[in-house]
Each structure stands twice: as C-alpha cells, then as structure tokens.
Amino acid sequence: MCGIIGYIGKQQASPIVIDGLRRLEYRGYDSAGLAVLADGKLATRKRKGKIDEGLAVLHKQSPVTGTVGMGHTRWATHGLPTDENSHPHLDQSGRIAIVHNGVIENYDSLRKKLEAKGHTFKSETDTEVLAHLIGERYAALEKAGHIKENAATHPLAQATKDALKDAVGTYGVVVISEMHPGVMVGARRGSPLIVGIGNDENFLASDANAIVNYTKRVIYLKDYDVVTLWEDNFKMETVSDNSGSYQISDIEFDAEAADKGDFDHYMLKEIFEQPQTVKNALRGRMDFEESTAKFGGLNMSVAELRAIDKIVITACGTSWHAALVGEYLIEEMAHIPVEVEYASEYRYRNAPIDKNTLCIVITQSGETADTLAGLRESKRRGHTVLSICNVVGSTIARESDGGIYLHAGPEIGVASTKAFVSQVTALTLFALMMGRIRMLSNRRGTQILKALEAVPGQIQKILDQNDEIRRIALKYKDCHNFFFLGRQYNFPVALEGALKLKEISYIHAEGYPAAEMKHGPIAMIDENTPTVVVLPTDALYEKTYSNLEEIKARKGPTVAIATEGNTHIAEKVDDVIYVPETWECINPLLAVIPLQLLSYHIAVARECDVDKPRNLAKSVTVE
C-alpha cells in the first residue's frame, strides 16, 4: 500500500526521491519521509501529512544533499499517522535506516526480545523493530569480524538477510547505512519492489510510476529476492543465501501517461481515457473471420478450454464487481457455471472444487495480497489459474499459468475507473471465445464483436454529456444516502456505482438488484434519499420500471440511466442520463460511465480529495 523509492548514483538524491514520492502518493499519504547519506552521515526528514504539506516544506526549510537516498509515503497499519511513526526508521545505533512496506506479524515478540537486550524504540511501528533487528544482526557480524566489502555477500545485505529469516510477514524493504555509503540493499516478500537500471545510477521502487522519468529498464523482484545496488552495478541473491535469477523488462508506458495533463484530477483523466483503454483491450483480439476472440497468453489449448466444467473467479473491490459481470457473460455465452469469490474469503475456505475447474483471478495492480493468496491456493490444489491484470511483470502476472493483460496504462486515481471497464472488456472477449468453442453461433459471435467495436465511440458520446451529469450531481451533493439499482448484467454496475460514491465522496450508498428493494431496503426511502436506477431498454425493462414506480410512490428522488430514445422515462424520473443502445451483455461498459462521472462531480462539489480519498490506498498489499 505504501510507496517506496530509492536512488544511488551521481545526481542529488533528494529531488529524485521527492519527485518519485509525489508520483507514489496515491499508494499512501498519511505521512512521508526521506533519508539521505549526506557526507557519509544519515540525514532524515519526515512528517505527518501529504508530501507538499509536510515533507517538501520540511526539506525546503532544511535541505539535505547526497547522492544516495530513499523515501517513503505511508498508509498506517501499526501506529497512528504521526511524525514519529513516519518512515524512515533507524536502528538502535542510528547508523542504519530502512523504509518498509508490508507487515511484520511477529514484531511484538521481536520487540520484547530486543528490549530485553537494551533496545529502545521511538515509534509504535513494526518497521522500527525490523530496523533494530537488522542493526542487531549487523552488530553480530561486526563482532565476528565478518565485515568485508568484498565478501561474497555484502555485509549490509547479509545483515538484512539474517534479520529477514527471523521476521514473519510481508516486506518490501530498502536499507542504507553510514558504514557503507556507496551501497543500497532491497528485499521483497509479498510487497512489490522493482529495481530500476540506469546509466551509472540505479533505483528501487514499489511502483514503476516513481522511476519512469529516469529509466524504463526494470527488474521485478520475486519473493525472497535480495538485491545489493551500487551506482554502476547490482547483485541478486535470495534470503536463503542462493544466487538470484532475474529478467530485465521494459516499462510499457511513458512518463506522460502518468501525468494529469490538462485535467483537474487523475480520476477525471482516467474516466476520459476509457474510449482508448477499451480500444487497447480489444486490439488484436477480435477475429471477425471466425466470429470469436483470440488471446496470445492463455497457454491453454482449445481442447483444454473445452474440457472446463466450471470456472471460479476471485477478486477484490472493483475487480470483484467486474467478476460478477463476467459470471453473467460466461454463463450466458458459454453455458459454463461460474462462481465469484471474494479473494479474502476464498483463501480461507475449504471450498470443494472439481478437477476440471478453471480459476481466474482479476486484479489491476497484480499485487493485491488476498488475490495473490487465492491464486496460490488454487495452484496448490492443482488447478490451472489465469489472470486478468493491468501490470506487466507483477507478481500475479508472473505466477499465473496464463493470462490477459489489459494494457490500460497506469491508473493513478485510487478509485478504479478505466481498469474496471478494461476488465469487463476482457471478460466479454473471454466469454465470447468460450462460447464459440462450445455452443455460440457464428452469427451471434459477429453481433457481439460489432457491438464491442462500437463501444469506444459510444463511451465518447456519454463523456460528451459531462456538463449535464455535473448539473445533476450538484442537485444531490448534500444527500447522505444513495441507492443504486440494476438487474442482471446491471446489478454489478449498481454495486460499482455505489462503491465509487462511497469511496470518493464519503456518502453512504448501497447497490442492490432492483427487485430486492422491497425485501427490506425500501424502508430507507424518503424524499432525501435518491435512487439511481440502471434502466436500459432490455428484456427486464418493465420489471425494473415497476421497481422504480415503488420508489416514486414513496417520494424518493430518482435518476435513471436509460437507453437513448426512451423519452417516456424522462416524464417519470427526476433526472435521466442517456446511454447509446447496445446488446444487453455490452451495456455494463456503457452504463458505468455516467455513474463514475456522477460520483466524481459529487465528490468535487463536496470538496473531497478525489484522487486520494481518506483511509484508502490504491494497491492493497497487506491482508
């Protein structure tokens, strides 16, 4: 969840670190800090609050210079957001500094052992315990006379490895020390960390966004990897003292893709990028000749795909909503039963799964802890696991048996928008492919492909209504409760609309299948509780319209997401947003766009921090 960047080279470290932290602030923003080796001595600056309100001001008042440094943006786990709990943390001697993402689960017992040896702690964090533990192991190497710069394993790396052998939990950690001013050490287990390779300079970062301005050549560390960096070299090992293997990759996107451009917020930029992200998800995957979809990375034969009797999809948050859409798609097109599981629950359940079950994991970041655990549990049981993922080289992408990359580009806004649309696009293509393998007609396949081909232009038509959607948002910005309703394909869209509003505006909102309102939630309806009804002209239009009438009868304000040409609905609801006509199975790709814009404009009107909503972080890498 938190953000890390480290630099070692010939340039001044502080400006690079602070720039990288700004690009990582969406990963954590309770506090920020940096440590720099200035004339061979550790200098730290850290403060509670956002970077430009805290760390940047502090560093301007009291700058530090040096060519080796690291920084951190924090999302609090152990201990309140305070200056003392901010990273970096020092060891007992004050000669070693670390920044750390993840959770050291046995930190309490380690802390007690260290306190018994005379260690004193300045924070409540598990990270400071890890810093002290590394310092303790380094002191043991010193006492034994094993501090040699030319040793097979650098002593700072050895002390880090020795400490991590006793630490239970997850970590992406960077270590620097006064004793070795030309060295930086990084290690990873369960929390992402990448090496950036430059010209006479190297980097460590939790996310490629932090370093894409400086290099596009990266190594994605695997669990238990330990890397030692010099300005002109690096060495890869593992915690268990083995040599580490690695592969150098290229970052897919340019620095400009991670900038806001002319938009006020990243979220708005990413909403407006969706015509292009759908094109990216479709590119090279539509086969009109065979009326099907094709993928290059599934690593499964047609025979293996045809033998699938059941599919289990695991995901979290917005990706879980995309998975629900996928359930409808696959069951309708391919007649394969699908179960959608919260990854956080699936990893602990002893769910009976037949041998011919395919498991699919969906994730934007490719690092979500619960989804990764679900993947590993499925593989442990011998099931083939495919991933739908946006980040090339991420842990989930690497550990899957095959998968589908979204190619949506970086998503900086904490509230996911374009990733959801890309995921649903990929699921639609996958469902089409599975349907054509099994029973879907050529004619129906062609219809779906043509409908998908039209989606980017149709999304643009909805985006062109941005000013009207903003006007509607201003009407309801002061409400305290919302309902979102939909049926069949549009039920997950209702869930996603409610989540977006909750995430960024802090208004309580619930999503329901429309018919479920009368089974309890309708008791909440009054003249101050708006209901947004996803109401396309489809097979269940009349049923959903009847549910809307029940709300109107109780004086509830209503907003309809309706199909173009439906003038009748405008006479029955307070406000209407039109989406272009399409097939029922394609409608989620269109209906979600006005819900994203509605939530965005309500949040802006309420003066909320849209890109960095309180208590949330972009990538949930701790359980």
Query: How are strands ordered across the β-sheet holding 357-363?
Result: 338-342, 310-315, 357-363, 385-389, 402-405
pTM above 0.95, yes or no: no
Q: How far apart are CA 505 and CA 608, in angstroms?
A: 6
The verdict on 441 and 507 lying in the same domain is no
Question: Which of 195, 218, 251 corresponds to the end of one domain?
Answer: 251
- Does the pLDDT of residue 324 top 90, yes or no? yes
Whichever domain contains 184, its CATH number is 3.60.20.10
Q: How far apart are CA 431 and CA 300, in angstroms?
A: 15
Q: Are 239 and 161 in contact (CB under 8 A)?
A: yes
The verdict on 198 and 235 lying in the same domain is yes
Going by pLDDT thresholds of 50, 70 and 90, the confidence category of residue 607 is very high
* Residue 618 bears catalytic tag: yes
Contacts of 609 (CB under 8 A, 6+ apart): none
pLDDT at 28: 56
The verdict on 247 and 382 lying in the same domain is no
The verdict on 441 and 519 lying in the same domain is no
145 located within any domain: yes
b vs e for 514-552, b when ≥16 Cβ sit within 10 Å of the residue's Cβ? bbebeeeebeebeeebbbbbbbbebebbeebbebbebbe
Q: Please report, as a single letter, which amino acid is at residue 90.
A: L
35 located within any domain: yes
Catalytic residue among 2, 359, 389, 608: 2
Contacts of 361 (CB under 8 A, 6+ apart): 313, 314, 315, 343, 371, 372, 374, 375, 378, 385, 386, 387, 388, 396, 400
pLDDT at 622: 55
For the chain, the average pLDDT equals 90
Most confident of 54-63, 168-177, 252-261: 168-177
The verdict on 114 and 51 lying in the same domain is yes
* Residue 2 bears catalytic tag: yes
- Does the pLDDT of residue 135 top 60, yes or no? yes
176 located within any domain: yes
Domain count, the chain: 3
Beta-ladder partners of 104: 169
Which carries the bigger pLDDT value, residue 340 or residue 365? 340
Q: How far apart are CA 551 and CA 175, in angstroms?
A: 59
Beta-ladder partners of 31: 48, 74
Which carries the bigger pLDDT value, residue 259 or residue 444? 444
For residue 221, the 8-state DSSP code is P
256 located within any domain: no
- Does the pLDDT of residue 344 top 90, yes or no? no
Whichever domain contains 526, its CATH number is 3.40.50.10490
615 located within any domain: no
Q: End-to-end distance of the chain based on CA atoms, in angstroms?
A: 10
Contacts of 58 (CB under 8 A, 6+ apart): 45, 46, 47
Q: What angle do CA 135, 136, 137 make, to 5 degrees?
A: 90
Catalytic residue among 46, 50, 216, 618: 618
**Tens-place pLDDT, residues 487-507:** 999 999 999 999 999 999 999
Contacts of 40 (CB under 8 A, 6+ apart): 178, 181
Assign 388 to helix, strand or coil: strand
Question: Which of 421, 439, 456 corresponds to the end of one domain?
Answer: 456
Q: How far apart are CA 541 and CA 521, in angstroms?
A: 21
Q: How far apart are CA 74 and CA 100, in angstroms?
A: 9
For residue 26, the 8-state DSSP code is G
594 located within any domain: yes
Q: Are 346 and 377 in contact (CB under 8 A)?
A: yes
- Assigned token pair, 293: 């979809």
Question: Which of 188, 216, 251 corresponds to the end of one domain?
Answer: 251
The verdict on 100 and 51 lying in the same domain is yes
Domain span at 579: 465-610
The verdict on 269 and 212 lying in the same domain is no
**Tens-place pLDDT, residues 382-418:** 899 999 998 888 888 888 999 999 999 888 888 899 9
Q: Please report, as a single letter, which amino acid is at residue 618.
A: K
Closest CA relative to residue 160, chosen from 91, 110, 114, 103: 91
**Tens-place pLDDT, residues 33-78:** 899 998 889 998 888 877 777 677 777 888 889 999 999 988 777 6
The verdict on 365 and 490 lying in the same domain is no
- What is the β-pairing status of strands 202-205 and 3-8? antiparallel
- Assigned token pair, 582: 């399409």
The verdict on 150 and 289 lying in the same domain is no
622 located within any domain: no
The verdict on 58 and 83 lying in the same domain is yes
620 located within any domain: no
**Tens-place pLDDT, residues 461-471:** 999 999 999 99
The verdict on 237 and 336 lying in the same domain is no
pLDDT at 620: 63
What's the burial of 571, exposed, middle or buried (CB within 10 Å: 0-12/13-18/19+)?
Answer: exposed
The verdict on 136 and 177 lying in the same domain is yes
Residue ranges of E strands in 108-264 = 171-177, 184-189, 194-197, 202-205, 217-220, 225-230, 233-238, 248-250
